[in-house]
Amino acid sequence: MSTALTQAARDLVDRPIIATVATVDHQGRPQLTPVWIDRDGDQLVFNTAKGRAKQANLDRDPHVAVAVVDPDDAFNVLVVRGTVDATREGADTHVDQLAKKYLGVDEYPMRQAGEVRLKYLVHTERVVMQPADQASSAGS
């Protein structure tokens, strides 16, 4: 079991691909949220606004699963499980960096007046990467 990202996983996360974050809601049900994702070394990082469902879920239970599926090859998949820590420090700058990556703009254009941003760092407990070449040979 690995907690480090392979170069293929890093390359996938570095692309502007929407990831899916799974959290657990207040009734113990899974909740999936599409997010912009990036990384700090081998740790995934995402961002949200305070008051959203995923923020409430993560305050209650910091366990997450994050999936990134290559839109050009559905067999090229990264799944990370772990826990998160939230911080306001650098969160506004981070969302601007994500806007640059995903939209090509310098500032996050959907910011609401009074919005408080949170940056989440995923502390990886497990990484599963299924590169396309392994998936196609496994099915043979």
Q: Name the token pair of 71.
A: 């839109």
d(CA 13, CA 81) in angstroms, rounded, equals 15
Per-residue pLDDT at 82: 97
Q: What is the pTM (predicted TM-score) of this model? A: 0.89
The residue among 56, 95, 65, 57 whose CA lies nearest residue 83 is: 65
Q: Which residues contact 105 (CB under 8 A, 6 or more apart)?
A: 99
Q: How confident is the model at residue 136 (pLDDT cuts 50, 70, 90)?
A: very low
pLDDT range class, residue 130, cuts 50, 70, 90: confident
Domains of the chain, by residue range, sit at: 7-132
Minimal CA–CA distance to 4: which of 129, 131, 130, 127?
Answer: 127
How many whole angstroms separate alpha carbon 124 and alpha carbon 1?
11
Q: Which of 48, 88, 87, 45 lies closest to 68 in space, CA to CA?
A: 45
CATH (residue range 7-132)? 2.30.110.10
The yes-or-no verdict on residue 61 having pLDDT over 90 is yes
- pLDDT over threshold 80, residue 5: yes
